[in-house]
Amino acid sequence: MNGFVWFDNIGSARADTTAFLTKTFGWSAQDIGSMTFMTATGDTPFAATCNAMSDVSGWVPYVEVVDLAAETAKAIRNGATILAENLEGPAGTATFLKDPGGAPLAIWKRATG
């Protein structure tokens, strides 16, 4: 069973959100262009603030999977609504969905190599 491995905060006020998180929680920010990595301690980020995305807003947890296509099909069979499929990011490929209750979630396959 896989737990959450990453969190994106998606919204229209990325800079304001990043500033809030750094000032409120003391997290470090590293802007890499398409997103800003957030780090609590050490050098390993655990989350990112991201620009607005259609139909997705707020914190989005990621679950790592081995077979993205199979897990996407399983999520659909179990009542998920797909918001965006096979989005390439710096560390892998993600599919964004909403669970049957309407909460956003991403399933993610780590890049190989």
The number of folded domains in the chain is 1
CATH number for the domain harbouring residue 90: 3.10.180.10
What pTM did the predictor assign? 0.92
Which pLDDT tens digit goes with each residue over 69-104?
Answer: 999 999 999 999 999 999 998 899 999 999 999 999
- Residue 50 sits in which domain range? 4-110
Distance from C-alpha of 88 to C-alpha of 108, rounded to nearest angstrom: 10
